[in-house]
Amino acid sequence: MGEKRYFQKTHQSAGDPAAVQIWRCIRELRVFRQQDVVDTGVATGKWISLHVNAWMEAGYLWREPVRQGRYWLVRDTGQLAPTVDVSTGRVFDPNRNEAMPPVTRVWPGPPQASCSVQGKLWRSMRILSQFCRGDLQEATELKAEPCDRYLKALLRAGYFRLMGENAMGYPVYLLTRDTGPMPPTVHNGWKLVWDHNDELVYEM
């Protein structure tokens, strides 16, 4: 007679239809709360929470550091859902064919000091309200490059409205989102702006 052999079930979400649906839902939402995914009915709250937490630890998601903060999809590697080993929480990415180590994301940190580059620029923007790059350079005594970099980031994030050009042909900006005294922090790698005043994240 043949010997009976028992195999332990592999506790992974690989090929799990629910995990695939959770990942697809997150890719569509981009910014969400767990309840948003639960409300779609793609999986149980417990299964959704397991995947969200594992993907956050692996650097796919980032959670706003405020009460009931939203999650942001900051690493979208492709259509295939990263698989989660339920027993260890480790994540394997089939899009890259590699295991993803835990990632520590320190974001956004404390606000920039008022004497920093971003602090000087933001304070001048609030005082002037309407300005071109040259106005900021004159007010802050900074070079063109850091002024342009901060201007373009905040413009993409929706802080300004373009008012045309001045006599010299330079763009004129109007500050339309003055959220407070602390300068918004720009993260170019993630294309996000964290506003310390209203504790919200804006996409660039």
* Sequence ranges of the domains in the chain: 17-100, 117-203
Contact (Cβ atoms closer than 8 angstroms) between residue 204 and residue 191: yes
Q: What is the pLDDT of residue 74?
A: 79
Contact (Cβ atoms closer than 8 angstroms) between residue 34 and residue 102: no
d(CA 7, CA 10): 9
Percent of the chain with pLDDT over 90: 55
Higher pLDDT, 88 or 65: 88
> What is the pLDDT averaged over residues 13-33?
87
Q: What is the pLDDT of residue 59?
A: 83
Read off the pLDDT of residues 93-132 as tens digits, 9 standing for 90 and up.
Answer: 999 898 888 765 555 656 778 889 999 999 999 999 999 9
Q: What is the pLDDT of residue 54?
A: 92
Q: What is the pLDDT of residue 1?
A: 38
Q: 117-203: what fold?
A: Arc Repressor Mutant, subunit A (1.10.10)
d(CA 184, CA 34): 26
CA distances from 52 to 4, 38, 183, 190 (A): 38, 11, 30, 19
d(CA 65, CA 204): 19
> Is there a shared CATH topology between the 17-100 domain and the 117-203 domain?
yes
For 163, the enclosing helix (H) or strand (E) is strand 160-165
Selection from 124, 121, 98, 92 nearest residue 19 by Cα? 92
Decide if pLDDT at 65 tops 80. no
Q: What is the pLDDT of residue 192?
A: 81
- b/e 130-157 (16+ beta carbons within 10 angstroms → b): ebbbebbbebbebeeebbeebbebbeeb
Average pLDDT over the chain, rounded to an integer:
85
Q: What is the pLDDT of residue 104?
A: 54
What phi and psi, each to the nearest 5 degrees, are found at residue 172? -110, 130
pLDDT bin (cut points 50, 70, 90) of residue 86 is: confident
Q: What is the pLDDT of residue 103?
A: 67
Read off the pLDDT of residues 119-175 as tens digits, 9 standing for 90 and up.
Answer: 999 999 999 999 999 999 999 999 999 999 999 999 999 999 999 999 999 999 999
For the segment(s) 17-100, the CATH number from 1.10.3210, 1.10.150, 1.10.3470, 1.10.10 is 1.10.10
Higher pLDDT, 146 or 15: 146
Higher pLDDT, 22 or 199: 22
For 19, the enclosing helix (H) or strand (E) is helix 17-29
Residue 33: alpha-carbon gap to chain centroid: 13
pLDDT bin (cut points 50, 70, 90) of residue 3 is: very low
